[in-house]
Amino acid sequence: MTEIDSCYRPTRRHLLQAAAAVASAAVAYPLSAIAAPAAFDQWRDGFRAKALAKGISDETYTRVMGRIEPDMSVFAKLRSQPEFNEQLWQYINRRVSDWRLAAGKEALRKYGDLFTRIERDYGVERGTLLALWGVETAYGDPLVQQNHMKPVFPSLAALAWNEPRRRGYWETELINALRVVQKGWGTPDEMRGSWAGAMGHTQWMPEVWLNLGFDYDGDGRVSPFGKPDDALGGSARYLVSRGKYQRDQHWGYEVRGGGGSGSKSYAAWSAAGVTRADGKPFPRPNDKAQLWTPVPGGPTFLLGPNFYAVRSYNPSMNYALAIVHLGDRIQGGSPFVQPFPGSERALSLAEIQEMQTRLTKAGFDTGGTDGRVGNGTMKAIRDFQLKAGLAPADGYGGLKVLARLRQGA
């Protein structure tokens, strides 16, 4: 079914650290301690004073927190989160999929004027924002909100109350969310998101909503929901403000030849024998970049500042590479010239749908047959791999899994 990446951000890096701490804490706590919110009412009443001291009105606090109950599933979900150890080529194949390419081209057609405006105002390439949008919420697909998002206040309240290792962080984000309501930018019912409180088209944490979001569509409030204008404009602002995104610079290029380290101009890299893999010249030879080969024997890249701007959104190098590559592909770019060692081509949309249909008929529920591979489909694949004796049982749905399903195993 629809993929929702498990990394969300306030800054992203802080939230990833917080998630790890919560997961560790969840293992350490007895189940009964997590399942029984006996002391929550006392905490909620005591937290009122802390919120009021931060400028939250008594009216806002009562409206949002007066009868709230903690969403205890955040702890259980953390304990039972499926983990998949993907190789980089598998990670790329899942995110740069036929479905995302087709849907991204349609989103660009529909919102071309908006992306032109953002490029003019902030200099952020449309491909980068399209790819962020596509990976985070499938271009704002309403099914993502319906099937994968829940009210954030019960989740944030549970974490602020019962996650001691990062309590200060969660308390701050809960107060930030209360500020959003107090400003009239969102209602508690509207504010649906991930277990950790990331919301809207591009998954803003409350802190980002407050400090970097703005009213880009001119409707009188800042909102990452509904029309994508505020979400995409605000995310461009995030990349410029926190990622130091550079106007008119591409993120980088796949390259061949040469070696070396450090940041050098494209002209200097060319002099050292490094050329673009597609044979084209570097359009801005004085811009600087760093050489990176993520997997020995696989493609090599020169990475400019805007690659690292994308990485400010999520600290994973793999995530940043998937985003910039998806952005290029949506706009007609080619697959990587040099394949990753041991890689196989990505399944087509029709092949993924066939795989999902066959898995479902075999008793492995994928949660849908829409050609989008998320955690539900990956779990079904892994369960099938285990039953069929396919190694490694990594949850990756590729040619080998499809071939075995066609055999009727």
Confidence tier at 343 by pLDDT (50, 70, 90)? very high
CA distance 124 to 240: 8
CA distance 138 to 153: 24
Top pLDDT among 175 and 259 is at: 175
Distance of CA 17 to the CA centre of its chain: 15
What values do phi and psi take at 36, rounded to 5? -115, 100
Q: What is the mean pLDDT of residues 250-272?
A: 93
Distances (CA, A) of 46 to 58, 158, 160, 229: 13, 14, 12, 38
CB atoms near residue 140 (< 10 Å): 22
Q: What is the mean pLDDT of residues 365-390?
A: 92
- Give yes or no for residue 373 having a pLDDT over 50: yes
CA distance 136 to 128: 12
Res 80: pLDDT: 52
Top pLDDT among 17 and 124 is at: 124
**Cβ–Cβ < 8 Å for 134, 107:** yes
Classify 389 as helix, strand or coil.
coil
289 DSSP β-pair partners:
264
> Scanning the structure block, which residue is given the tokens 């190789």?
87
> Scanning the structure block, which residue is given the tokens 């400028």?
55
Classify 201 as helix, strand or coil.
coil
Res 83: pLDDT: 57
Instruction: List the structure tokens of 99.
Output: 């479905």
Res 144: pLDDT: 81
Q: Where are the domains of the chain?
A: 12-81+150-208, 252-303, 349-406
**Cβ–Cβ < 8 Å for 205, 198:** yes
What share of the chain has pLDDT > 70, as a percent?
89
Rg value, the chain, Cα: 22
Strand segments, DSSP code E, in 18-102 are none
Res 20: pLDDT: 46
Which CATH number does 12-81+150-208 carry? 1.10.8.350
**Of the candidates 226, 111, 108, 206, which has an alpha carbon nearest to the alpha carbon of residue 156?**
206
CA distance 18 to 259: 37
Res 312: pLDDT: 95
Top pLDDT among 78 and 367 is at: 367
Distance of CA 143 to the CA centre of its chain: 16
Confidence tier at 142 by pLDDT (50, 70, 90)? confident
What share of the chain has pLDDT > 90, as a percent?
80
The predicted-structure confidence for 101-127, as pLDDT tens digits, reads as follows 999 999 999 999 999 999 999 999 999
Top pLDDT among 348 and 74 is at: 348
Confidence tier at 35 by pLDDT (50, 70, 90)? very low
